[in-house]
Amino acid sequence: MSVLDHIIDGVKEDLAARRAAYPLAAVERLAAQARPVRDAYRSLVSREFALITEVKRSSPSKGQLASITDPAGLAAQYAAGGAAAVSVLTEERRFGGSLADLDAVRAAVDVPVLRKDFMVDEYQFYEARAHGADMVLLIVAALDDAQLRDFSDLAAELGMAALVETHTAEEIERAQAVNARILGVNVRNLKTLDVDRQVFADLAPALESVGEGTVIVAESGVSGVHDIEFYARYGARAALVGEALVKNSDPRGATEEFTAVGARARAAQAEVAPTARTGKSSA
């Protein structure tokens, strides 16, 4: 059984407990009463390079990353640094997150908020909206085609954007089949948890078929500005960054720096068009 399978098993157990305490009908009512959705897609596409900053306490691969006693304060620093969106881990067993973190961040910032979790049941989507999420994560590797389509439609029905996460060329095709407008490429292998930044470059040809209106998001593997430059050179229009920011003593400044570096890299790459998306010069 892979790491992803183990995580999802735990997610389902925790979900069953929440469902027993708060039936779906009750959560649906709360979702209907939630504050209006913020347009995550517009927030991302309106920037030359967008940063999705993350509130992330720990990970299965590295254990505790940061204590984060004040998730709202951290999110506020991200927003002040120009973050296009704030991602909040809500999975508890492996990532130390919670829906309480999502509530705190939602109350603290006006930028769109992503509920980052392993979404495997419709209940979680109503739950996300009830807690103020504007965007949810859909991991293609964790869903079959019917689930991917149904969950994409449900997110849209609730007004939320979906970050559709892929790892392979085949998964990119599956994401396109549901018309993903925010398409993530995660360079972390969810079976082994190994990170290989080169995966993004290797998938650049597959990303060439993605529509121009699609926001391509690089996920994982960011330790500094050189990683942001690399991803931008190979077609990323945004990056989701957690560890490098939560461990930084100046998350606001780091957010500003990463965003600026990404924008400069994209501008430089545009000058070597027409093959800017693949990161290769036409020379």
Q: What amino acid positions are annotated as catalytic residues?
A: 54, 56, 116, 165, 186, 219-220
Query: Following CA atoms 30, 34, 38, 40 in sequence, which dihedral angle do they give, to the nearest 10 degrees?
Result: -10
| Contact assessment for residue 226 and residue 211, using Cβ atoms and an 8 Å cutoff | no
First-to-final CA distance of the chain: 47
Which tokens is 227 given? 């990683």
Q: Distance (Å, rounded) from C-alpha 176 to C-alpha 240?
A: 20
Range list of H helices, 47-178: 71-80, 99-108, 122-130, 145-157, 169-177
The per-residue DSSP string of 182-217 comes to EEEEE-B-TTT--B-THHHHHTHHHHTTS-TTPEEE
Which tokens is 211 given? 């529509």
